[in-house]
Amino acid sequence: DDTCTLISPLEPGEWATFASRFLFLEAAEDAYRCELGELLLDARHQGQLYVKGVWIADLQKDGLGSGLNLRHMRLDRDRRAVLHQSDLESQAAALWVRAIDTRPQLASRLYRLLDAPSPPSDVRRVCEFLQASERPNFIAAMAAEFFSAAGEGAVPVAVGSELPISLGDVEATLNKAIVMVPPGLLAILQQCPGVLTIDEIQQQLRRAAPPPPPPPLPWASLPEEYKQVARHAATLVRLGGDVAFDVSLVDLVDAPAAPTPLLDPRTGLPAPPLAAFDV
């Protein structure tokens, strides 16, 4: 039997379908390019995987949050990707780190992805590929995004973690808000110099807390002049109306040295420091 081959032009709908599968026919309007490939930032490329400009698969249901055009990936004869999930996550994470260090304005996109209840696969391992000292633009951009979203001076902690401090103490004493973030985002923020950690907040709380009062001095160990001061104080309280007040209700403690020594009115010389008393 003879074979008949009919060649006809592609219909517009067919061209639209096939052209979108080849980036050399329809390039992305917004993309970041580097030696690893491309991070495709158009909405129509979200979750789409390309290899060397050729569409491979729609991975939105598999948790891919951005579009990827990778340069290094093995394909089988049916043009299916032969790649472990960890390899895909690694290449995507490395792309994001390079993209934001080059274009800091993209930090808002990464922040939204990382701040999701279940971050997509292409950003889960970003922190593993982040060398903070080598990516200063990345660090500054992510810190700025956090403070823009949570407020200046906010402190991030991982969702579900048990805090060793009281949120009320932090807000009342240091005027700082504690914000719950996913662990992947926290791991990045902890590398930002301007973002405080819980340990640093605890240190600030300890410095801001007043020192504990000194313990009262045993009555038997007090010099007679100190006891006389306590008795006079008790007498003044009784004269003020509390007739039941007794010297046993007075605690004497070691007080810090006065900045200006008191003068003894009899001699004009500095008087010995007296213990403070507390009622």
pLDDT at residue 137, as a whole number: 94
Does 172 fall in a domain?
Answer: yes
pLDDT for 40: 95
Indicate if 95 and 142 belong to the same structural domain: no
Percent of the chain with pLDDT over 90: 32
68 inside domain: yes
The reported pLDDT for the residue numbered 112 is: 94
Is 169 a domain residue? yes
Cβ neighbors of 48 (< 8 A, separation 6 or more) are 40, 55, 57, 58, 59, 60, 64, 67, 68
Total structural domains within the chain: 2
pLDDT digits (tens, 9 = 90+) for 256-265: 655 555 566 6
Q: Which of 105, 122, 140 is the last residue of a domain?
A: 105
Q: Which residue, of 208, 235, 265, is where some domain finishes?
A: 208
Range of the domain at 33: 21-105
- The predicted pLDDT at position 145 comes to 94
Query: Is 262 contained in some domain?
Result: no
pTM of structure: 0.68
261 within domain boundaries: no
* Residue 92 sits in the same domain as residue 47: yes
Average pLDDT over residues 210-232: 83
Q: What is the pLDDT of residues 141-175, one digit of tens each?
A: 999 999 999 888 888 888 877 766 677 777 777 77
Whether residues 93 and 139 share a domain: the answer is no
Choice between 75 and 51, residue whose per-residue pLDDT is larger: 51
Is the pLDDT at 77 greater than 70? The verdict is no
Give yes or no: residues 72 and 140 share one domain.
no
- Of 165 and 77, which is predicted with more confidence? 165
Give yes or no: residues 90 and 154 share one domain: no
Domain shared by 140 and 204, yes or no? yes
Name, of 44-58, 81-95, 210-224, the range with top average pLDDT. Answer: 44-58
Three-state SS sequence of the chain: CCCCCCCCCCCHHHHHHHHCCECCCCCCCCEEEECCEEEECCHHHCCEEEECCEEEEECCCCCCCCEEEECCCEECCCCCEECCHHHHHHHHHHHHHHHHHHCHHHHHHHHHHHCCCCCCCCCCCHHHHCCHHHCHHHHHHHHHHHHHHHCCCCEEEECCCCCCCCHHHHHHHHCCCEEEECHHHHHHHCCCCCCCCHHHHHHHHHHHCCCCCCCCCCHHHCCHHHHHHHHHHHHHHHHCCCCCCCHHHCEEECCCCCCCCCECCCCCCECCCCCEEEC
Per-residue pLDDT tens over the stretch 203-218: 877 777 777 778 888 8
Q: Which of 150, 175, 208 is the last residue of a domain?
A: 208
Give domain status of residue 91, yes or no. yes
Q: Give domain status of residue 218, yes or no.
A: no
Together in a domain, 86 and 150: no
Within-domain flag for 273:
no
> In whole numbers, what is the pLDDT of the chain averaged over residues?
83
User: What's the pLDDT band for 234 if we cut at 50, 70, 90?
Assistant: confident
Q: Is the pLDDT of residue 23 over 60?
A: yes
Residue 80: pLDDT above 70?
no
Confidence of residue 14 (pLDDT cuts 50, 70, 90): confident
